[in-house]
Structure 1
Amino acid sequence: MNDVERLRKALAAEHAAVYAYGMLGARTTGTLRSRVTAAFNAHRGTRDRLRVMISSRGGSPVETESSYDVGETPTSATQVVNLAVLVEEGITAAYLELAASDDVALRRHAALAMQESVTRSYGFRRRIRALPGMPDSVQGTS
Protein backbone atom coordinates (compact mmCIF):
# COMPACT_ATOMS: atom_id res chain seq x y z
CA MET A 1 0.00 0.00 0.00
CA ASN A 2 1.43 3.40 -0.95
CA ASP A 3 1.06 6.69 0.93
CA VAL A 4 -1.82 7.98 -1.20
CA GLU A 5 -3.77 4.77 -0.55
CA ARG A 6 -3.06 5.09 3.17
CA LEU A 7 -4.21 8.70 3.14
CA ARG A 8 -7.36 7.71 1.23
CA LYS A 9 -8.13 5.08 3.88
CA ALA A 10 -7.75 7.70 6.62
CA LEU A 11 -9.93 10.10 4.62
CA ALA A 12 -12.67 7.49 4.27
CA ALA A 13 -12.65 7.04 8.04
CA GLU A 14 -12.83 10.81 8.54
CA HIS A 15 -15.84 11.00 6.20
CA ALA A 16 -17.57 8.32 8.28
CA ALA A 17 -16.71 10.16 11.51
CA VAL A 18 -18.15 13.43 10.22
CA TYR A 19 -21.34 11.62 9.25
CA ALA A 20 -21.64 9.85 12.61
CA TYR A 21 -20.97 12.96 14.68
CA GLY A 22 -23.44 14.97 12.59
CA MET A 23 -26.08 12.38 13.36
CA LEU A 24 -25.10 12.23 17.04
CA GLY A 25 -25.19 16.01 17.41
CA ALA A 26 -28.84 16.00 16.43
CA ARG A 27 -29.57 13.55 19.24
CA THR A 28 -27.79 15.18 22.17
CA THR A 29 -28.02 18.19 24.42
CA GLY A 30 -25.91 20.02 26.97
CA THR A 31 -22.32 19.04 27.68
CA LEU A 32 -22.51 15.88 25.61
CA ARG A 33 -23.64 17.90 22.60
CA SER A 34 -20.70 20.26 23.09
CA ARG A 35 -18.26 17.33 23.05
CA VAL A 36 -19.96 15.80 20.00
CA THR A 37 -19.86 19.16 18.19
CA ALA A 38 -16.16 19.60 19.03
CA ALA A 39 -15.44 16.12 17.65
CA PHE A 40 -17.50 16.87 14.52
CA ASN A 41 -15.51 20.05 13.90
CA ALA A 42 -12.17 18.35 14.55
CA HIS A 43 -12.93 15.56 12.08
CA ARG A 44 -14.17 18.03 9.46
CA GLY A 45 -10.90 19.94 9.72
CA THR A 46 -8.83 16.77 9.48
CA ARG A 47 -10.93 15.55 6.56
CA ASP A 48 -10.26 18.79 4.68
CA ARG A 49 -6.50 18.62 5.38
CA LEU A 50 -6.38 15.01 4.14
CA ARG A 51 -8.07 15.98 0.88
CA VAL A 52 -5.32 18.56 0.29
CA MET A 53 -2.57 16.08 1.24
CA ILE A 54 -3.91 13.50 -1.22
CA SER A 55 -4.32 16.02 -4.05
CA SER A 56 -0.84 17.45 -3.48
CA ARG A 57 0.56 13.94 -3.97
CA GLY A 58 -1.28 13.55 -7.28
CA GLY A 59 -4.02 11.35 -5.87
CA SER A 60 -7.76 11.62 -6.06
CA PRO A 61 -9.46 12.01 -2.67
CA VAL A 62 -12.09 9.41 -1.88
CA GLU A 63 -15.56 10.96 -1.81
CA THR A 64 -18.03 10.66 1.01
CA GLU A 65 -20.71 7.99 0.91
CA SER A 66 -24.37 9.03 0.85
CA SER A 67 -24.79 7.35 4.23
CA TYR A 68 -22.90 5.10 6.64
CA ASP A 69 -24.02 2.15 8.73
CA VAL A 70 -23.89 3.30 12.34
CA GLY A 71 -25.86 0.35 13.63
CA GLU A 72 -28.89 1.07 15.73
CA THR A 73 -29.75 4.77 15.96
CA PRO A 74 -28.76 5.95 19.44
CA THR A 75 -31.67 6.94 21.68
CA SER A 76 -29.83 7.54 24.95
CA ALA A 77 -26.73 9.35 26.14
CA THR A 78 -25.07 6.00 26.85
CA GLN A 79 -25.66 4.86 23.28
CA VAL A 80 -24.32 8.16 21.94
CA VAL A 81 -21.16 7.73 24.01
CA ASN A 82 -20.78 4.12 22.87
CA LEU A 83 -21.00 5.13 19.21
CA ALA A 84 -18.61 8.07 19.70
CA VAL A 85 -16.04 5.74 21.26
CA LEU A 86 -16.51 3.26 18.41
CA VAL A 87 -15.99 6.04 15.86
CA GLU A 88 -12.77 7.14 17.54
CA GLU A 89 -11.48 3.58 17.71
CA GLY A 90 -12.15 3.29 13.98
CA ILE A 91 -10.23 6.50 13.35
CA THR A 92 -7.28 5.22 15.35
CA ALA A 93 -7.27 1.98 13.38
CA ALA A 94 -7.47 3.82 10.05
CA TYR A 95 -4.32 5.79 10.84
CA LEU A 96 -2.24 2.75 11.87
CA GLU A 97 -1.24 1.98 8.29
CA LEU A 98 -0.34 5.62 7.63
CA ALA A 99 2.01 5.43 10.61
CA ALA A 100 4.01 2.86 8.60
CA SER A 101 4.85 5.38 5.87
CA ASP A 102 8.48 6.10 5.00
CA ASP A 103 7.55 9.80 4.98
CA VAL A 104 8.38 11.26 8.39
CA ALA A 105 5.75 14.02 8.04
CA LEU A 106 3.03 11.46 7.32
CA ARG A 107 4.11 9.30 10.25
CA ARG A 108 3.93 12.36 12.49
CA HIS A 109 0.50 13.27 11.12
CA ALA A 110 -0.73 9.72 11.76
CA ALA A 111 0.66 9.66 15.29
CA LEU A 112 -0.97 12.98 16.14
CA ALA A 113 -4.28 11.90 14.61
CA MET A 114 -4.24 8.69 16.67
CA GLN A 115 -3.35 10.63 19.82
CA GLU A 116 -6.24 13.04 19.20
CA SER A 117 -8.73 10.24 18.58
CA VAL A 118 -7.72 8.39 21.75
CA THR A 119 -7.96 11.64 23.70
CA ARG A 120 -11.45 12.32 22.29
CA SER A 121 -12.51 8.77 23.09
CA TYR A 122 -11.25 9.19 26.64
CA GLY A 123 -13.25 12.40 26.89
CA PHE A 124 -16.41 10.42 26.17
CA ARG A 125 -15.56 7.42 28.33
CA ARG A 126 -12.76 7.46 30.88
CA ARG A 127 -11.31 4.19 29.68
CA ILE A 128 -8.78 3.31 27.02
CA ARG A 129 -8.15 -0.05 25.42
CA ALA A 130 -4.62 -1.36 25.89
CA LEU A 131 -3.75 -0.80 22.23
CA PRO A 132 -6.39 1.49 20.70
CA GLY A 133 -6.94 0.79 17.04
CA MET A 134 -5.35 -2.64 17.19
CA PRO A 135 -7.44 -5.78 16.84
CA ASP A 136 -8.32 -7.48 20.13
CA SER A 137 -6.43 -10.58 19.03
CA VAL A 138 -3.66 -10.99 16.51
CA GLN A 139 -3.08 -14.28 14.75
CA GLY A 140 0.57 -15.22 14.78
CA THR A 141 2.35 -17.26 12.13
CA SER A 142 4.53 -19.48 14.25
Structure 2
Amino acid sequence: MSGRARDDARAAELTALQASLAAEHAAVYGYGVVGGRIGAARRAEARAAYDAHRARRDALILEVRDLGGQPVAANAAYALPFPVPDSVAAVRLAARLEERVAGVYADLVRAATGTRRGAAAAALREAAVRAVRWSGESVAFPGLAERAGEGTGAAGAAPSASASVAPSR
Protein backbone atom coordinates (compact mmCIF):
# COMPACT_ATOMS: atom_id res chain seq x y z
CA MET A 1 0.00 0.00 0.00
CA SER A 2 1.40 3.40 -0.94
CA GLY A 3 1.94 6.11 1.65
CA ARG A 4 -1.04 8.09 0.35
CA ALA A 5 -3.35 5.06 0.39
CA ARG A 6 -2.19 4.19 3.93
CA ASP A 7 -2.90 7.77 5.07
CA ASP A 8 -6.35 7.67 3.46
CA ALA A 9 -7.14 4.34 5.14
CA ARG A 10 -5.98 5.71 8.49
CA ALA A 11 -8.13 8.84 8.04
CA ALA A 12 -11.17 6.70 7.17
CA GLU A 13 -10.56 4.55 10.24
CA LEU A 14 -10.21 7.61 12.46
CA THR A 15 -13.44 9.08 11.04
CA ALA A 16 -15.27 5.81 11.74
CA LEU A 17 -13.79 5.66 15.26
CA GLN A 18 -14.97 9.21 15.94
CA ALA A 19 -18.46 8.35 14.67
CA SER A 20 -18.51 5.30 16.94
CA LEU A 21 -17.39 7.44 19.87
CA ALA A 22 -20.10 10.02 19.15
CA ALA A 23 -22.70 7.22 19.01
CA GLU A 24 -21.46 5.84 22.34
CA HIS A 25 -21.71 9.31 23.92
CA ALA A 26 -25.31 9.51 22.68
CA ALA A 27 -26.07 5.98 23.90
CA VAL A 28 -24.75 6.76 27.38
CA TYR A 29 -26.97 9.84 27.49
CA GLY A 30 -29.93 7.91 26.09
CA TYR A 31 -29.59 5.13 28.62
CA GLY A 32 -29.72 7.77 31.33
CA VAL A 33 -33.20 8.55 30.06
CA VAL A 34 -34.06 4.87 29.68
CA GLY A 35 -32.94 4.18 33.26
CA GLY A 36 -35.21 6.91 34.57
CA ARG A 37 -38.30 5.50 32.86
CA ILE A 38 -37.76 1.75 32.57
CA GLY A 39 -39.83 -0.62 34.68
CA ALA A 40 -38.22 -2.48 37.57
CA ALA A 41 -38.28 -5.79 35.66
CA ARG A 42 -35.81 -4.50 33.04
CA ARG A 43 -33.82 -2.04 35.13
CA ALA A 44 -30.84 -4.41 35.52
CA GLU A 45 -30.76 -4.94 31.76
CA ALA A 46 -30.74 -1.19 31.19
CA ARG A 47 -27.95 -0.74 33.74
CA ALA A 48 -25.86 -3.46 32.09
CA ALA A 49 -26.29 -1.78 28.68
CA TYR A 50 -25.40 1.61 30.17
CA ASP A 51 -22.24 0.17 31.70
CA ALA A 52 -21.31 -1.57 28.43
CA HIS A 53 -21.67 1.67 26.48
CA ARG A 54 -19.60 3.59 29.03
CA ALA A 55 -16.83 0.97 28.75
CA ARG A 56 -16.92 1.07 24.93
CA ARG A 57 -16.89 4.88 25.02
CA ASP A 58 -13.83 4.91 27.26
CA ALA A 59 -12.02 2.39 25.05
CA LEU A 60 -12.82 4.40 21.92
CA ILE A 61 -11.38 7.55 23.48
CA LEU A 62 -8.07 5.72 23.90
CA GLU A 63 -8.20 4.34 20.35
CA VAL A 64 -8.83 7.77 18.84
CA ARG A 65 -5.85 9.11 20.78
CA ASP A 66 -3.73 6.15 19.65
CA LEU A 67 -4.41 7.17 16.05
CA GLY A 68 -3.38 10.74 16.84
CA GLY A 69 -6.88 12.18 16.93
CA GLN A 70 -8.61 14.43 19.44
CA PRO A 71 -11.63 12.46 20.72
CA VAL A 72 -14.98 14.03 19.93
CA ALA A 73 -16.56 15.35 23.13
CA ALA A 74 -19.99 14.45 24.35
CA ASN A 75 -22.70 17.03 23.92
CA ALA A 76 -24.31 18.52 27.00
CA ALA A 77 -27.69 17.17 25.86
CA TYR A 78 -29.20 15.20 23.01
CA ALA A 79 -32.61 15.48 21.36
CA LEU A 80 -34.52 12.25 21.71
CA PRO A 81 -36.17 10.80 18.59
CA PHE A 82 -39.55 10.70 20.38
CA PRO A 83 -40.99 11.49 23.82
CA VAL A 84 -40.14 8.98 26.55
CA PRO A 85 -42.89 9.35 29.16
CA ASP A 86 -43.06 5.72 30.32
CA SER A 87 -41.49 2.28 30.38
CA VAL A 88 -42.87 1.26 26.97
CA ALA A 89 -41.25 4.28 25.31
CA ALA A 90 -38.03 3.65 27.28
CA VAL A 91 -37.83 0.16 25.81
CA ARG A 92 -38.36 1.59 22.30
CA LEU A 93 -35.61 4.16 22.94
CA ALA A 94 -33.19 1.47 24.12
CA ALA A 95 -33.82 -0.52 20.93
CA ARG A 96 -33.31 2.60 18.81
CA LEU A 97 -30.05 3.42 20.60
CA GLU A 98 -28.72 -0.06 19.93
CA GLU A 99 -29.74 0.04 16.27
CA ARG A 100 -27.89 3.34 15.86
CA VAL A 101 -24.78 2.05 17.60
CA ALA A 102 -24.83 -1.10 15.45
CA GLY A 103 -24.88 1.10 12.34
CA VAL A 104 -21.78 3.04 13.26
CA TYR A 105 -19.94 -0.10 14.30
CA ALA A 106 -20.76 -1.63 10.91
CA ASP A 107 -19.04 1.39 9.38
CA LEU A 108 -16.06 0.88 11.67
CA VAL A 109 -15.84 -2.78 10.66
CA ARG A 110 -15.62 -1.63 7.03
CA ALA A 111 -12.96 0.99 7.79
CA ALA A 112 -10.79 -0.85 10.32
CA THR A 113 -8.22 -3.58 10.02
CA GLY A 114 -6.71 -6.18 12.32
CA THR A 115 -7.72 -6.32 15.96
CA ARG A 116 -9.67 -3.06 15.71
CA ARG A 117 -11.90 -4.66 13.06
CA GLY A 118 -12.47 -7.65 15.34
CA ALA A 119 -13.36 -5.38 18.28
CA ALA A 120 -15.74 -3.41 16.07
CA ALA A 121 -17.41 -6.63 14.91
CA ALA A 122 -17.83 -7.70 18.53
CA ALA A 123 -19.35 -4.32 19.42
CA LEU A 124 -21.70 -4.58 16.41
CA ARG A 125 -22.78 -8.07 17.52
CA GLU A 126 -23.38 -6.92 21.11
CA ALA A 127 -25.46 -3.94 19.98
CA ALA A 128 -27.47 -6.11 17.59
CA VAL A 129 -28.20 -8.64 20.35
CA ARG A 130 -29.28 -5.88 22.73
CA ALA A 131 -31.48 -4.35 20.02
CA VAL A 132 -33.23 -7.69 19.55
CA ARG A 133 -33.68 -8.10 23.30
CA TRP A 134 -35.24 -4.65 23.57
CA SER A 135 -37.39 -4.72 20.45
CA GLY A 136 -38.18 -8.41 20.10
CA GLU A 137 -37.38 -8.10 16.39
CA SER A 138 -34.27 -8.74 14.36
CA VAL A 139 -32.95 -7.77 10.96
CA ALA A 140 -30.99 -9.93 8.55
CA PHE A 141 -27.99 -7.59 8.48
CA PRO A 142 -27.79 -5.69 11.78
CA GLY A 143 -25.98 -2.40 11.43
CA LEU A 144 -26.27 -2.38 7.66
CA ALA A 145 -29.08 0.06 7.02
CA GLU A 146 -28.83 -0.29 3.25
CA ARG A 147 -29.62 -4.00 3.67
CA ALA A 148 -32.49 -3.29 6.04
CA GLY A 149 -34.09 -0.74 3.72
CA GLU A 150 -33.46 2.25 6.01
CA GLY A 151 -31.26 5.33 5.85
CA THR A 152 -27.53 4.98 6.42
CA GLY A 153 -25.54 5.54 9.56
CA ALA A 154 -22.36 5.84 7.52
CA ALA A 155 -19.43 7.53 9.16
CA GLY A 156 -19.29 11.07 7.94
CA ALA A 157 -22.91 11.02 6.77
CA ALA A 158 -25.64 12.58 8.84
CA PRO A 159 -28.04 9.97 10.21
CA SER A 160 -31.73 10.61 9.86
CA ALA A 161 -33.30 12.33 12.86
CA SER A 162 -35.51 9.32 13.49
CA ALA A 163 -32.54 6.95 13.61
CA SER A 164 -30.52 8.47 16.39
CA VAL A 165 -30.29 10.50 19.51
CA ALA A 166 -29.23 13.80 18.00
CA PRO A 167 -27.25 16.53 19.73
CA SER A 168 -29.54 19.15 21.23
CA ARG A 169 -29.07 22.56 19.64
TM over 0.5: yes
- Which deviates further from its counterpart, 19-28 or 98-107? 98-107
Shift of 1:72: 2.9
Q: Distance in 1 between matches of 2:82 and 2:112?
A: 39
- The count of residues paired between Structure 1 and Structure 2 equals 139
1:59 partner amino acid: G
Q: 1:124 to 1:4 in 2, by over 3 A?
A: same
- Which deviates further from its counterpart, 32-41 or 65-74? 65-74
Shift of 1:53: 0.6
Following superposition of structure 1 onto structure 2, how do residues 52-91 of structure 1 map, counting pairs within 5 Å? 52-91=62-101
2:85 partner amino acid: T
Shift of 1:23: 1.3
Structure 2: gaps (5+ residues): 1-10, 151-169
Taking only the aligned residue pairs, the percentage that are identical comes to 32
TM-score (norm 2): 0.76
Matched, 1:24 2:29: no
Q: 1:66 to 1:128 in 2, by over 3 A?
A: same
Where in structure 1 do 4 or more consecutive aligned residues deviate above 3 Å?
none
1:20 partner amino acid: G
TM-score (norm 1): 0.90
In structure 2, the residue matched to 1:111 is 121
Matched, 1:42 2:52: yes
Q: 1:93 aligns with which of 75, 83, 103?
A: 103
Shift of 1:63: 0.2
Shift of 1:28: 2.2
Q: Secondary structure at the match of 1:2?
A: helix
1:121 partner amino acid: A
